[in-house]
């Protein structure tokens, strides 16, 4: 995450450009927030958290300050928001405590991986891998749920929006899973330029994910707006 | 050095297969859970739908019976009163003119006779629409009255068998069973060429058992094609939540057995 700033080249521009969809989606979510129903409100909170974290981490990166502790915080906070969003989707088909238990275990795992405090300044590969695995499971299950003809009418009305959000999560986390999992090995084995290219690829997936989120909010069911 | 790093990479690759397996397992488990819940929800929906249809059927039959009752009352009280008055006036005119004009008296007698026939038909229709004794004396006594009336004709013998302590039933059940019995008797008279009908009634542990038998030619082979009467019997049985079976008896004739929970609530 921490790279030398003030020296612009194409890879850096791509990384900086990857911030744009995050801010755009957060701003759009802020504009329409009051008109969104519960599921999308929970999802918007995730976008706000992402926007704020990206802004702070960008400022820290610009000032050449290690922003890794922020990543630990972002992963925990972001995952809880995503979890609450999926909990709302699975409300009628899964016991409500199942996802809460998963969330609690994940938070404990995050804390365990952040201590001793020196680890806060290192890349949290294991936590990100666990997060990716869980979100891939949730997104695939949501796709299957949305394909099921017996799903409740509300989910079917919101199918388009949920499909875009789900696609965003699935594309980003399934592509980044390898990067997160092998990040330690890559840092040791791969040359610097290859590592940088990997993170450019990661930025590209992030751009795709947030673009999907913007489309999802745009295509939200207008008739359900309260 | 290069080999050690390759080994590091490979040793990191193996657990990754476990991760993929974990994802597949997670998706399968979640979906199994979803399907279970969705199936339960579907069953619940079907149950509610069936309950709603049952209530609709009950309510439609209740409305139908209420309307029959109203028509029977109106026929009896209004048309019956008007015909009785007409008959009385005709009798008065007949008495006044009997000696002066014999032809007029004969014509008046003929009109009076027609009026009396109309009055009798009106009474019969009114009683068929809603037998007054059903509400006052119950199913058993009503069936016994009908049996006595039909037995007098000497073409058919109807036997009603019931225990001495046979209790009254909720009105919707009595009315429903009365209609079914009338439909069956009617069918036996019209199609079965039978000379004997037996109706047995029993009450056991909050259930009513009705057994109808005749010694006619039985149900036709093409019984699957249902007539209005048959459909009406089925509708009434369903509205009462009754289980029933209609078949040919091994000794000949038609046999129908009905079982109804008498403690259920009805509209």
Q: What is the pLDDT of residues A117-159, one digit of tens each?
A: 667 777 888 899 999 999 999 999 999 888 876 766 667 778 8
Residue A164: pLDDT over 60: yes
| Nearest by CB: B37 against A92, A140, A144 | A92
Q: Is B34 on the interface with A (CB under 8 A)?
A: yes
Contact B8 A188 (CB under 8 A): yes
Contact B33 A134 (CB under 8 A): no
Q: Number of CB pairs < 8 Å for A and B?
A: 61
Mean pLDDT confidence for A83-109: 91
Q: If contacts are CB pairs under 8 Å, which of residues 187-206 in chain A contact chain B?
A: 188-189
Mutate to test the interface with B, among A89, A126, A136, A166 (most CBs of B within 10 A): A136
Contact B37 A93 (CB under 8 A): yes
Tens digits of residue pLDDT in B223-262: 665 677 788 888 888 888 889 998 888 888 899 999 998 8
- The most distant pair of C-alpha atoms in chain B lies apart, rounded to whole Å, by 146
Angle of the A96-114 helix axis to the A68-89 helix axis, nearest 10: 170
What whole-number distance in Å separates Cα of residue A46 and Cα of residue A54?
Answer: 12
User: Of A75-84, A168-177, B255-264, where does mean pLDDT reach its minimum?
Assistant: B255-264
Residue A8: pLDDT over 70: no
Tens digits of residue pLDDT in A15-40: 778 889 999 999 999 999 998 888 89
Q: Which pLDDT score, from 0 to 100, does residue B9 have? A: 65
Q: Which pLDDT score, from 0 to 100, does residue B2 have? A: 54
Are B225 and B166 in contact by the 8 Å Cβ rule? The answer is no
Residue A2: pLDDT over 70: no
Residue A59: pLDDT over 70: yes
Task: Return the residue matching tokens 């037996």.
Answer: B198
Contact B34 A185 (CB under 8 A): no
Residue B168: pLDDT over 60: yes
- A141-160 in b/e form (b: 16+ CB < 10 A) is bbbbbbeeeebeeebeebbb
Closest CA to A58 of A11, A9, A22: A22
Tens digits of residue pLDDT in B5-33: 566 667 777 788 888 889 999 999 988 88
Q: Is A97 on the interface with B (CB under 8 A)?
A: no
Residue A96: pLDDT over 80: yes
Mutate to test the interface with B, among A90, A95, A141, A181 (most CBs of B within 10 A): A141
Distance from CA of B37 to the nearest CA of A (A): 5
Q: Which pLDDT score, from 0 to 100, does residue A1 have? A: 42
Distance from CA of A108 to the nearest CA of B (A): 20
pLDDT interval class at A226 (50, 70, 90): very low
Distance from CA of A133 to the nearest CA of B (A): 6
Tens digits of residue pLDDT in B236-246: 888 888 899 98
Mutate to test the interface with B, among A147, A174, A189 (most CBs of B within 10 A): A189
Q: Residues of A with CB below 8 A from B8's CB?
A: 185, 188-189
- The most distant pair of C-alpha atoms in chain A lies apart, rounded to whole Å, by 55
Mean pLDDT confidence for A107-111: 91
Q: Which pLDDT score, from 0 to 100, does residue A140 have? A: 93
Tens digits of residue pLDDT in B90-121: 888 888 877 787 788 888 889 999 999 999 99
Q: Residues of B with CB below 8 A from A129's CB?
A: 19
In order, the DSSP letters of chain B are -HHHHHHHHHHHHHHHHHHHHHHHHHHHHHHHHHHHHHHHHHHHHHHHHHHHHHHHHHHHHHHHHHHHHHHHHHIIIIIHHHHHHHHHHHHHHHHHHTTT-HHHHHHHHHHHHHHHHHHHHHHHHHHHHS-HHHHHH-HHHHHHHHHHHHHTTTS-EEEEE--TTPPP--HHHHHHHHHHHHHHHHHIIIII--SEEEEEEEEETTEEEEEEEE-SS---TTTTS--HHHHHHHHHHHHTT-EEEEEE-TTSSEEEEEEEETTS---
Mean pLDDT confidence for B177-184: 91
Q: Which pLDDT score, from 0 to 100, does residue A168 have? A: 95
Q: Is B41 on the interface with A (CB under 8 A)?
A: yes
Q: Residues of A with CB below 8 A from B5's CB?
A: 188-189
In order, the DSSP letters of B168-236 are P--HHHHHHHHHHHHHHHHHIIIII--SEEEEEEEEETTEEEEEEEE-SS---TTTTS--HHHHHHHHH
Mean pLDDT confidence for B211-228: 78
Tens digits of residue pLDDT in A171-202: 999 999 988 888 877 777 778 888 888 888 88
Tens digits of residue pLDDT in B48-96: 999 998 888 888 888 888 898 899 888 888 999 999 999 999 888 888 8
Residue of A nearest to B19 (CA): A133
| Nearest by CB: B38 against A93, A134, A185 | A93
Task: Return the residue matching tokens 């084995």.
Answer: A189
Q: Is A136 on the interface with B (CB under 8 A)?
A: yes
Q: Residues of B with CB below 8 A from A90's CB?
A: 30, 34
Distance from CA of B121 to the nearest CA of A (A): 58
Residue B264: pLDDT over 60: no
Closest CA to B233 of B258, B209, B250: B258
What percentage of residues in chain A have a pLDDT greater than 90? Answer: 45
Residue B140: pLDDT over 70: yes
Contact B27 A189 (CB under 8 A): no
Q: Which residue has the higher pLDDT, B223 or A60?
A: A60
CA distances from B208 to A164, B35, B176, B238 (A): 60, 41, 13, 15
Contact A141 B42 (CB under 8 A): no
Q: For the range B127-135, what are the long-range contacts, defined as Cβ-Cβ under 8 Å and sequence gap of 24 or more?
A: B127/B72, B128/B182, B129/B68, B129/B69, B129/B71, B129/B72, B129/B75, B130/B65, B130/B68, B130/B69, B130/B72, B130/B73, B131/B178, B134/B174, B134/B175, B134/B178, B135/B171
Q: Which pLDDT score, from 0 to 100, does residue A152 have? A: 66
| Nearest by CB: B30 against A141, A182, A189 | A141
Q: Which pLDDT score, from 0 to 100, does residue A122 have? A: 77
CA distances from A66 to A62, A113, A120, A200 (A): 10, 18, 10, 19
What whole-number distance in Å separates Cα of residue A31 and Cα of residue A125?
Answer: 34
Q: Which pLDDT score, from 0 to 100, does residue A184 have? A: 79
3-class SS at A221? coil
Contact A144 B39 (CB under 8 A): no
ipTM: 0.76
């Amino acid at each position: 995450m921490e790279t030398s700033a003030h020296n612009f080249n194409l890879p850096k521009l791509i990384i900086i450009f990857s911030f744009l969809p995050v801010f755009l989606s957060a701003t759009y979510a802020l504009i329409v927030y009051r008109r969104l129903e519960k599921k999308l409100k929970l999802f918007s909170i995730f976008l706000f958290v992402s926007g704020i974290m990206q802004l702070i981490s960008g400022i820290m990166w610009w000032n050449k300050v290690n922003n890794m502790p922020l990543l630990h915080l972002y992963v925990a906070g972001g995952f809880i928001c995503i979890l609450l969003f999926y909990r709302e989707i699975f409300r009628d088909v899964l016991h409500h405590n199942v996802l809460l238990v998963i969330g609690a275990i994940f938070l404990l795992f995050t804390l365990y991986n952040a201590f001793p405090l020196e680890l806060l300044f290192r890349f949290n590969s294991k936590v990100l891998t666990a997060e990716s695995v869980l979100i891939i499971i949730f997104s695939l299950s949501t796709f299957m749920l949305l394909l099921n003809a017996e799903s409740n009418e509300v989910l079917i009305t919101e199918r388009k929006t949920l499909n875009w959000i789900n696609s965003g999560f699935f594309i980003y986390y399934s592509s980044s899973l390898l990067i997160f999992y092998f990040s330690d090995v890559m840092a040791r084995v791969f040359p610097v330029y290859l590592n940088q290219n990997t993170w450019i690829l990661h930025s590209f997936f992030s751009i795709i994910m947030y673009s999907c989120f913007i489309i999802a909010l745009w295509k939200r069911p207008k008739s359900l707006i309260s | 050095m290069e080999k050690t790093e390759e080994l590091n990479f490979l040793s990191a690759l193996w657990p990754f297969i476990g991760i993929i397996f974990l994802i597949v397992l997670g998706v399968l488990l979640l979906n199994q859970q979803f399907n279970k819940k969705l199936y339960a929800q579907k069953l619940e929906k079907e149950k509610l739908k069936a309950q709603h249809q049952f209530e609709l059927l009950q309510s439609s039959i209740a409305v139908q019976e209420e309307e029959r009752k109203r028509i029977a009352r109106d026929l009896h009280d209004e048309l019956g009163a008007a015909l009785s008055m007409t008959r009385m006036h005709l009798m008065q005119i007949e008495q006044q003119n009997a000696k002066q004009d014999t032809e007029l008296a004969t014509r008046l007698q003929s009109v009076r006779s027609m009026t009396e026939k109309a009055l009798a038909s009106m009474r019969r229709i009114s009683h068929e629409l809603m037998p007054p004794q059903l509400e006052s004396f119950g199913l058993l006594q009503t069936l016994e009255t009908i049996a006595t009336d039909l037995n007098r004709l000497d073409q058919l013998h109807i036997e009603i068998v019931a225990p001495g302590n046979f209790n009254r039933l909720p009105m919707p059940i009595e009315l429903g069973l009365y209609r079914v019995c009338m439909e069956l008797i009617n069918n036996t008279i019209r199609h079965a060429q039978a000379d004997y009908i037996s109706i047995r009634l029993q009450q056991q542990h909050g259930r009513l058992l009705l057994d109808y038998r005749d010694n006619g030619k039985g149900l036709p082979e093409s019984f699957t094609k249902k007539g209005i009467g048959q459909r009406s019997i089925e509708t009434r049985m369903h509205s009462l939540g009754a289980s029933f079976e209609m078949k040919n008896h091994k000794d000949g004739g038609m046999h129908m057995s009905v079982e109804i929970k008498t403690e259920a609530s009805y509209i």
